[in-house]
Structures are given as structure tokens and as C-alpha cells.
Amino acid sequence: MKIPEILMIETVHQPGSLAKVLLVIADAGLTIDHLQALRRGQGRTLWEITLEMDEEADRSLYDRIDALPIARFVGHSDRVFDRHRGGKIRTVSALPINTQQVLRDVYTPGVARVCLAIRKDPEQARQYTSIGSTVAIVTNGTAILGLGNIGALAGLPVMEGKAALFSTLVGLNAVPILLDETEPQKCIDHIAAIAGSFGAIQLEDFAAPACFEIESGLRARLDKPVLHDDQHGTAVVVLAATLNATRRAGRDLGDCVIGQIGLGAAGSGIVRLLMHEGIRHMLGTDLDEGACRRFAGMGGELAPLEDIMKRSDIVIATTGVRGLIKPPMVRKGQIIMALSNPDPEIEPAVALQNGAAIAADGKGINNVLGFPGLFKGALAANAKSFTDQMLVAAAKSIASQALGDDLVPDPLNLEVHQLVSTAVEAAVCRPRCLPCPVGCWAGGGERANPVAGLSERATHPPSKRPDEKSTPSSVSRHS
């Protein structure tokens, strides 16, 4: 597994010094992820060099750098740990509490008036508490990144990172919730028991197949948006990238054969959404027989890895197995997305060298482009659930904002997330006279999506009648 190794190296401040250090690194076959000069003085420069290194890589590199007459290996940087020290999120007051009057208003005795108002009309909680802008990020730690079942506590840094992204990118509050439970029904019960504190629930890093039962059970039980991000957030961004990849390659997405390698949570979510968008021919494979049966039940064709690589126009891999796709397997002109993190099934550069028309990995095709706007839009519209219409709106918004030949836009561009949010909100509030992918809003109850298992539920905010006009999103140009 490749984990960033951050080296501190001092060089003599003269032409060619840094180049000699970088040459040693290149000779070791390592890739430089980041390079920064930290300070310069007394004729020397201290550099911070971030490398992509396997845990088992030969560390004699340090001695070879130290042996250079113009350089000295100082040690390792704790930059990553320093940025996690004390946690990455804070709870702060939304207003200054600096007088006795403010104290009495926001706490006792004034708060009692608000409590009684909410008891009389629970809908008032959206206006007078943070529920309408707060998401629970819940994990049981059974499928953390590519690390596997490392437990909920070890996964907390990931959940804090998600919470920090919610705050930074769309201004939502998010609270990590660690669940010490793996039995699906108990997970459902525990999450449902605390759901009243939140406007929406994001399920994170629950392993398959339990994740499907947990999400389905919570969606049926709760009258608020629930989304397993590993499935649907990933699927949204993959759909966006696929729309742009086929556009770049001059292909019709509906005519492409798509191969999905890995049919766990992410793979199943990708298959489901692509089929919803009209993909007629999907090949798939997985080592797990249950996952294969689930895929076949969705209408996919099971095939071995070698056949998928031979027959597919687009290959999407979510296996967590580094180097699974061998260079000779790549067919000329293929689109390949090897999305496992931190190590892809094939490096994009290698895929391109062996004939792929377009190649990408999970560092770029990442669900950080999806989940912030999805939840922001759902909460803004007071949606009662997520629907495929909302997911597709998000994907098309993301696709429309990619620049040049990029498959997806910059995730740090705040406007991207705002436009995704607007598109999702418009999909919730779209008037029923407009066509929608899975059937029009019917004024009440649920309409099951035959492909997705998601539903089209009456999700209009109380203040908006179903027949009111609302402006469709203008950011979706791929339709």
C-alpha cells in the first residue's frame, strides 16, 4: 500500500543541488507527490519532499541521499499527523455569547419558549435548531478506505475529514458517529434511535453486503435523507466522469459495453446508476458469489476478468487489489477507471502507455465531488429521501463543470458544490409536468424505482405545492 512518506532534506544553496537529490529519488523508481522549500539560510535550503512509497520499499534511499556531498537527510516530517493533532473539527457557537441577556436568551430561561414552540409544532425545529443543516456521518469501521475492517475508532479520522469537507465546501455541520455494532438490524435500530438530532444521515464505510440491508432499512424507517456514500456518492462521480470520457472519445454511452470489476458497495452502486441511465450491456465480476448473484439479479452479465478486459469499451475497477489489471490486458482505445485508493488496479500512466484512450484513478474520480452538494441540496429542499433523479442531476452538474479535457472539475472550487446543490434541489422540487427518469411525482406515497431500489417519494417542502413552477437547474448540459 502506498502511503505518503514525507522527507526533510537539506541541500547546499547552489545550482544543481536539488536536481541531484531528485535524481537519486528517480533512480529508486519513486514518484514525487509534493515538493516545498521550508526555509533558506546560511547557504542551505531545507526541503520537504513527499514521496509515494510502499510500506515495504527499500529505505536505503535515505543513506544514498545522505551520501551526496551537497545534501543531508534530516529526517521525516510529521505534517500529516500535525494536521490531525487535536482533531480536524470543532463545535462553535453561531453567535457571540457576551452579555447576560444573550446568555439568558440562548440558554435558560429564554430557551424554554423555543422548546415549547417545537413541542407544539415539531416543524419549527428546522427553523430554530441546527437540524436542517446538520448531517450525521455514521460508520462501524468495517470497510475503511482500502484498509478494510479496522474498526470504527480507527476510522474516526476519515469521518472527521468528511465533516471538515462538509463545513468547508457547503457550510453544513456534520457529526461523526462511531457505531460499535456489525449486525445489520441492530445498526438500523441504533442509527434510527439517534436520527432525530440530524437532518440527514450519511452512512460511511459499512462493508457489503450488510451495507445494503442497513441503508434499505433506514430508508424505510426514517422520513429524512439517508445515503450510503460508498455506493451512491461514488456512483454519481463515476457517472459524471463517464459522461465526459465518452464525449471526449466520441462515443455514445448507451452503445458502450461497460465492465465493472469488483461488485461490492461501490461497484454495485455504480452498476445500479449506470443501468438507470440506460446502459444496456454491463459485464461484471467479483470473487464473492453473493455479489455476483446480486449483479446478475440487476440484469448484468457475469464474465471472468480476462473477458471483461477483452470485450469492454469502458472498464471500471473498484476491487481494492493493487495491480490487478496487467498492462497486456489493456485493449487499444479503452476507457479505464481504476478507482481503488490508495493503490489503483492499474496506474493511469501505465494504462495509457498500453493503448488506453483515457485512464483515471480514484485520486481524481473521488466522491468528494458528490456528497457535499447532494446533502446540501437535499436539506435545502427539505427532501424526505434521496432519489435517482437527484443523483443523476448531481452527476450531470459535475460533468458540465469539468474544464477542457478533464473528466471532473476541481473539488476545491466552491462554485462546483454550490451548482451541484442547486441541481439536486431543483430535482427534488421539479414540477410534475416535467419528465423524470423513473416516473413523475404522483402527489403522495412512494413509487419504486425498478432498477435502483431507491424511491420517488413526495419530497416537496411544505411551502411548495406540487404544481408550483420552479426553475430547472441550468447547470446540466449533458442530457
Q: Which residues are tagged catalytic?
A: 107, 162
Q: In sequence order, which residues have a C-beta less than 8 Å from that of residue 391 and are 6 or more positions away?
A: 232, 235, 236, 239, 273, 374, 454
H/E stretch holding 80 reads helix 79-84
* Backbone φ, ψ for residue 336 (5° rounding): -125, 125
Amino acid at 157: P
C-alpha 286/C-alpha 436 separation (Å) is 32
Q: Evaluate the CA torsion angle 202, 206, 209, 214 in order and state its sign.
A: negative
What are the grid coordinates assigned to 10, written together?
A: 537539506
String of DSSP letters for 266-299? HHHHHHHHHHHTT--EEEEE-S-HHHHHHHHHTT
What grid cell was written down for 208? 457489503
* Cell numbers representing residue 214 in the block: 442497513
In Å, the largest CA–CA distance within the chain is 78
Cα separation of 465 and 441, whole Å? 12
